[in-house]
Amino acid sequence: MNRYLLRRLGQAIITLIGVSMVVFLLTRMSGDPALLMAPQDATEKDIERIRLELGLDQPVHVQYVKYAWGVLRGDFGRSFRFDRPALDMFLERFPNTLKLSLVALFLAVAIGIPTGILSAVKVERGFDRFGKIFALFGQALPRFWLGIILISLFATTLKILPTSGMGTWKHYVLPSVTLAWFATASLTRLSRSSMLDVLDAEYIKMARIKGLPEFWVILKHGFRNAMSPVVTMLGLQFVALLNGAVITETIFTWPGVGRLIVEAIFARDFPVVQMCVLIASFLFVFINLFVDVLYAYIDPRIRYQ
């Protein structure tokens, strides 16, 4: 177990070092930061001074090591636009994204899993037709379009919900539905196919033969076994929600990290972009690692692969 853990941890660290290099190089490719930071009327000499201050006269690998050392100590650089630590800006916005994502995750789980399970139980009959169409719609509806349609229906036509911003619980309804839509469809699909696999198993037949009521067969023997791939997906879905936050927050002007990234990109505020990408990848890698290790702990077969 320890060797497996070490190997996976090593892989995660290598991935993160790679990500930090890629992010660092990408933002260097985008142009001279000194030119971006300098005021409009700066002379050649001023720009040269800024360049020296930022250490841009040094070789790229030295710059990277300095950058990486800073990141390890929690120094992600300063925003060009607001001249304050990028980390502060991120931390200000992150709780808002987290709240929205948690509501969306709750919606996706509460709707997606029961729909998928019921679809599998009633396979190729009434409810399954509905479940399949639901999953299909969820995967094909572009999120940005859904958001706009919801706004035009519920906010501007019926006037029962606000169009944008953050405040009361009403502000959560449209953004969280928009954000949850795709995840709900994926969960429906996955829990349906997983449940179908499980319902084929011998132990389900056994449970039926021994006369257990169908309700308990489904819940105790079917549902519990069908959930393991679904739980794996949940970790990934949660990160995918953070991904979807970019579009959702832009549409609903939600003050979260997704909108921060888009704003920073348009303002060419690269330290902020750099940090957001890095933290998003950190989250992804560590949630994945956590899920994998948890799995290896539960199921010894995985460790020896």
Partner 1 sequence: MVKFLAFFRNAPFFPLAVLAAFVFLGVFGEWIAPHDPVEGSLMDSLTPPFWEAGGKWKYPLGTDSLGRDILSRIMGGAGISLQIGILVVFVAGLMGTLLACLAGYLGGAVDTVIMRVVDLVMSIPYLVLAIVLAAILGASVYNIIIILGAVIWTYYCRVLRSEVLRLRESDFVRLAVVGGCSKGKIMLVHIFPNIVNTLVVIATLNLGTVIIAESSLSFLGLGVPPPSPAWGSMVADGRDYVGQAWWVSFWPGLAIFLVVMSFNLVGDWLRVRLDPKFRQMAGGS
Q: Which residues bind partner 1 (CB under 8 A)?
A: 11, 14-16, 18-19, 22-23, 26-27, 29-30, 136-137, 139-145, 148-149, 151-152, 155-157, 163, 182, 186, 189-190, 193, 236, 239-240, 242-244, 246-247, 250-251, 261-262, 265-266, 268, 273, 276-277, 280-281, 284-285, 288
Q: Which residue has the tokens 């409810």?
A: 127
- Compare residues 31 and 70 and give the one whose CB is closer to partner 1: 31
165 Ramachandran zone, left/alpha/beta (phi>0; psi -120 to 50): left
- Compare residues 26 and 65 and give the one whose CB is closer to partner 1: 26
- Compare residues 42 and 265 and give the one whose CB is closer to partner 1: 265
DSSP state of 153: I
- Compare residues 121 and 242 and give the one whose CB is closer to partner 1: 242
Q: How far apart are CA 152 and CA 143, in angstroms?
A: 14
- Compare residues 207 and 241 and give the one whose CB is closer to partner 1: 241
CB of 178: closest distance to partner 1 in angstroms?
12
Token code pair at residue 110: 């509460």
Token code pair at residue 68: 């990486």
CB of 210: closest distance to partner 1 in angstroms?
31
Terminal CA-CA length for the chain: 12
Alpha carbon of 170 to those of 103, 176, 247: distances in Å?
12, 10, 19
CB of 145: closest distance to partner 1 in angstroms?
3
CB of 50: closest distance to partner 1 in angstroms?
21
182-197: string of b/e by CB count within 10 Å (b at 16+)? bbbbbbbbbbbebbbe
Q: How far apart are CA 132 and CA 137, in angstroms?
A: 9
- Compare residues 11 and 214 and give the one whose CB is closer to partner 1: 11
Token code pair at residue 237: 């879905």
Q: How far apart are CA 297 and CA 291, in angstroms?
A: 10
Q: How far apart are CA 275 and CA 293, in angstroms?
A: 27
- Compare residues 228 and 250 and give the one whose CB is closer to partner 1: 250
Question: Is residue 80 a contact partner of residue 269, using CB atoms and an 8 Å limit?
Answer: yes
CB of 147: closest distance to partner 1 in angstroms?
9
CB of 154: closest distance to partner 1 in angstroms?
11
Q: How far apart are CA 176 and CA 185, in angstroms?
A: 14
CB of 37: closest distance to partner 1 in angstroms?
17
